[in-house]
């Protein structure tokens, strides 16, 4: 199963973020995987669409990445809930890149760390100090450069 229900989060990661190789102040991960939306039918046109997207259009170059922001893990309107993996807040296109196990693992580490910080500080999920969260993830070995930006990347 590739598609599943997704939350409406404090932020929705979208294909524009992906294509811009965007970084975020609350970034909990860097990721690079092509947008993998399989053909919905067996027509030649649908196969050509998939092949073109996979090989050329929806693919970042080696060494490029886009940020995964903390806000996609926090369901809008909830105070003590986090999600990770296929149910994170994203549009259909970028979901085709982040629904995989490596991204889910990074999101899970961030969600678990955020829950611990919430318990320790008494702050709710949307009010968590994300700078402290990111620092904790770095201490745990997460690859999150201090600047958060690489050449060709923009901050939203």
User: Is pLDDT of 6 > 70?
Assistant: yes
Residue pLDDT, tens place only, 56-87: 777 788 889 999 999 999 999 999 999 999 99
Burial code (b: 16+ CB inside 10 Å, e: under 16) for 57-90 equals: ebebeeeebbbbbbbbbbbeeeeeebbbbbbbbb
Indicate the domain borders of the chain. Answer: 15-139
Residue pLDDT, tens place only, 28-43: 999 999 888 777 788 9
Ranges 51-60, 91-100, 118-127, 144-153, most confident: 118-127
């Amino acid at each position: 199963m590739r598609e599943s229900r997704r939350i409406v989060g404090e932020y929705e990661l979208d294909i524009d973020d992906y294509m811009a190789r965007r970084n975020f102040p609350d970034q909990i991960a860097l990721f690079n995987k092509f947008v993998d939306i399989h053909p919905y039918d067996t027509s030649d046109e649908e196969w050509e669409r998939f092949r073109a997207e996979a090989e050329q259009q929806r693919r970042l170059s080696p060494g490029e990445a886009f940020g995964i922001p903390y806000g996609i893990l926090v369901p809008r309107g909830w105070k003590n809930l986090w999600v990770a993996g296929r149910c994170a807040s994203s549009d259909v296109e970028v979901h085709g890149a982040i629904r995989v196990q490596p991204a889910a693992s990074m999101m899970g580490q961030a969600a678990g760390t955020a829950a611990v910080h919430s318990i320790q500080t008494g702050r709710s999920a949307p009010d968590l100090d994300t700078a402290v969260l990111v620092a904790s993830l770095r201490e745990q070995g997460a690859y999150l450069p201090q600047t958060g930006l690489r050449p060709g990347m923009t901050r939203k």
